[in-house]
A and B are shown apart, each in its own frame.
Chain A
Amino acid sequence: MLSAILVNGLVLSGIYGMLALGFALTYGVARILNLAHTAFYMAAAYGLFFFLGRMGFAPAALLASLLVLLIALAAYKLLLEPLREHEATVLIVTIALALLLQEVVLLLFGAHFRSVPALLPGFVEVFGVRVAEQALLALLFAGVVLLLAWVFLKGTRLGLGIRAAAQDQEAAELVGISLSRAGNWAVGLGGLLAALAGLAVAPMATLEPHMWNAPLLVVLAAVVLGGLGSLPGALLGAVVLAFAEVMVVNLVPGGAFLRTAVALLILVLVLVFRPEGLFGTAFAEER
């Protein structure tokens, strides 16, 4: 059982990690709680499905990512940046954007379940647990993406600026970092991470227009658990929640449906007992 929890938990952590990092970046730097974040992930999965009918996997994945990147940047420039001081309005606008994307997908593709063929069709046994090769590929992909994101944020001047803006906006501005520019990059990077998570999940999941709902809850819980605005916190939160979900299924099989509700419970518990999360401070200060 331990090996099943370990292996399945790791695979799920990779996907949630990509989503949570993108969400945390967007909030940390641009101060936008983007509830359309997982709708971007859904749009990328559908984009891949659409383009795959016309070209190979790599160009289709590239086009799908670019499409989502453009949507994210356009949404930021046109809708979110002018409103970013009004947090409640931003929340409403992002949820409206998510619903709009859902309705567009519903209109274009219908409510039928769609699937994207796996790049690797078989499975391998890891510690006696059957794991789809595609899931291992997704884990590897998530690992590389997260590593690259980390190198970018840690090792480049731009990344340093983004992290500085995420940690303390006023201090960052005082030392000459353009918050608008950092916000642009953060939103772009956040959208791109959501798109990449969508591409990783598409060959393993069932595509349907509401597929963004469940991960949104998990992502919200992950970033609150880690501490709003904290990038390592978001990653850790994602890992904790992924393992919590897998443990629920393995330890309480009759309550497997509660796996997502566990995320909600953790979210509530963190808000009540440790509102600043594991690493963050922003939310506590706001309270």
Chain B
Amino acid sequence: MSRVWIAALSGFALWAGSTASAQTLRIGVVGPMAFVQGEHTWHGATLAAEELNRAGGVLVGNQRYRIELVRVDTNEMTSVTDAATAVERAITAQRVDFLIGGFRSEAVLAMTEVAADYKKPFIITGAALDGILAGRVDRNYERFKYLFRVSPTKSSDLARTSLLLLGEVVQAVRRDLRIERPKVAILAERAAWADPLVETASRLIAAPPPQGYGAEVAGTWRPSATATDVTPELTAIQRAGAQVIFTVLSGPVGVPFGRDWGRLKIPAAAVGINVEAQQETWLKATDNLGAYVATLNTLAPAVAISPKTIPFISNFQARFKQFPIYTASGAYGALYILAEALNRAGTTAADAVVRALEATDYTGPAGRIVFDKTHDVTWGPGYTTGLGVQWIGGRMQAFWPRQWRVGNQTVSYAGVQPYQLPPWVVEAWRR
């Protein structure tokens, strides 16, 4: 046999061998792809998949698997039914092995029912409602054990963090404006996830220190999550004499709030949750009137929560020319968590992967992720905490946690700056 034939046969054998071992893991990335939340879920997953594939793929047992992402547009912003159908189609027609993503809690509830029906591990990266996992994974483990969440922290933890941010601002009012008992207005969109937060905030604001803030509730306003004008609400808040507005806004109403608040120079500092203000497009969306708005966030420029934060932000910005929102870091982390779990499980069988996922201890761009007994991300010092950010000087700047003391622990991230009251608030109230 000539050398040419030997070389050709060897080449064929190598090619055949590599084809046989080039297994593929199909990961369904679900989200509202026309919206920034879905788009960033896809981008975050894409970045992680590219990195993992470049590094040789995911090692499961003695097989290497290449990750193939399947884009699942759920249209969940407008239709819960569409979302559930999209996930069912992804499982049955597009043959995905695992699912990551999801944003709107109501839709994620429906989507996770489908995933549970088909016993497909689903790592949630965008929805906050406690009840997606609590009361399901712990009460009906066999059915719902396939569900996990890496981001955001559940709404009750978001509530805790946002109330800590509110505490910072109440302190700033007390310190800088010398108002002993500041008035806090609560502006919360009408949505199920916001209700417990409104109730807790009302109680905590009025309770005396050290449990509460020793402040006064100026009133509670509940606009629609899709309201396009909150001028009457802001006028009423101004009339109520509030120095602080505690915002609980995840929907599009966050944008008109920022615009009207900045334009009317309402003399009350805005702090809390405003999902729209978490995005780098905030100032553009509010016609530059959203400066000084403070919100809970996951990432901020130049703030290193973990050694992976800055490299993730840099790579994401280089690849997609945008600053990543929490669904991006969540999806990025979810894919690594899944890859590590597959590696530990040594098989792609769902039940074994679930057990491996339960043993997760992964430090990602947004902090350390360890799942609790409901498969939810653990919140607190040493785990994931979130950030408080404020728009100052045309950029997003973190102001929390900064010397945050919990027991004998102090949490502080490099790059976090002190909170600043808006100048017109200082001007209106300084005595």
Contact = CB atoms under 8 A, between A and B. Distances in A.
Interface residues of B, number: 41
Contact of A121 (B224, B226, B255, B263): B263
Q: How large is the interface on A (under 10, 10 to 19, 20 to 34, 35 or more residues)?
A: 35 or more
Contact of A257 (B219, B222, B236, B252): B222
A106 B35 CA distance: 10
Contacts of A8: 231-232, 235
Nearest to A4: B235
Contacts of A249: 221, 223, 232-233, 236
Interface stretch (A110-118, A151-159, A162-170): A110-118
Interface stretch (B152-160, B281-289, B382-390): B281-289
Interface in A240-278: 245-246, 249-250, 253-257, 259-260
Contacts of A12: 229
Nearest to B260: A132
A260 B219 CA distance: 21
Interface of A is mostly: mixed
A256 B222 contact: yes
Given A113-B285, A206-B285, A253 B228 contact: no
B228 A115 contact: no
B359 to A, nearest CB: 38
B263 A134 contact: yes
A100 to B, nearest CB: 16
A255 B236 CA distance: 13
Contact of A130 (B35, B190, B235, B281): B235
B344 interface: no
A118 B219 contact: no
Contacts of B223: 249, 256-257, 259
Interface in B198-245: 219-229, 231-233, 235-236, 238-239
B183 interface: no
Given A117-B287, A208-B252, A112 B281 contact: yes
Contacts of A113: 252, 255, 276, 281, 285
A123 interface: yes
Given A123-B265, A132-B260, A254-B221, A214 B226 contact: yes
A123 B233 contact: no
A211 B256 CA distance: 12
B264 interface: yes
Nearest to B235: A4
B276 A132 contact: no
Nearest to A116: B287
Contact of A205 (B219, B229, B284): B229
Contacts of B285: 112-115, 206
Contacts of A67: none
Q: Which of B189, B227, B236, B252 has the most CB of A within 10 A?
A: B236
A115 B35 CA distance: 16
A204 interface: yes
Contacts of A118: 263, 287
Interface string B20-56: 0000000000001011100000000000000000000
Interface string A124-143: 00000111101100000000
Contact of A204 (B221, B227, B229): B229
Contacts of A214: 226, 228
Contacts of A210: 78, 226
B232 A246 contact: yes
B36 A112 contact: yes
Contacts of A108: none
B165 interface: no
Interface string A49-93: 000000000000000000000000000000000000000000000
A131 B234 CA distance: 10
B259 interface: yes
B267 to A, nearest CB: 9
Given A8-B235, A123-B265, A211 B228 contact: yes
B90 interface: no
Contacts of A117: 287
Contacts of B128: none
Q: Which of A7, A121, A122, A254 has the most CB of B within 10 A?
A: A254
A132 B228 contact: no
A174 interface: no
Contacts of A114: 285
B124 interface: no
A205 B252 CA distance: 11
A175 interface: no
B76 to A, nearest CB: 12
B266 interface: yes
B263 A250 contact: no
B231 A255 contact: no
Contacts of A1: 236, 239
Contacts of A257: 189-190, 222-225, 227
Nearest to B220: A254
Interface in A1-56: 1, 4, 7-8, 11-12
Contacts of B35: 111-112
A121 B262 CA distance: 10
Contacts of A122: 263
Interface string B261-302: 001111000000000100001001111000000000000000
B217 to A, nearest CB: 11
A95 B183 CA distance: 46
A255 B227 CA distance: 13
Contacts of B222: 253-257
Given A113-B255, A118-B263, A255-B222, A206 B228 contact: yes
16 contacts: A4-B236, A11-B231, A111-B36, A113-B281, A113-B285, A114-B285, A115-B286, A116-B287, A118-B263, A123-B264, A129-B235, A130-B266, A206-B228, A249-B223, A249-B232, A256-B221
3 closest pairs, A vs B, by CB?
A257-B190, A249-B232, A257-B224
Given A1-B239, A112-B36, A115-B284, 6 more contacts: A111-B32, A131-B264, A203-B287, A249-B232, A254-B220, A257-B224
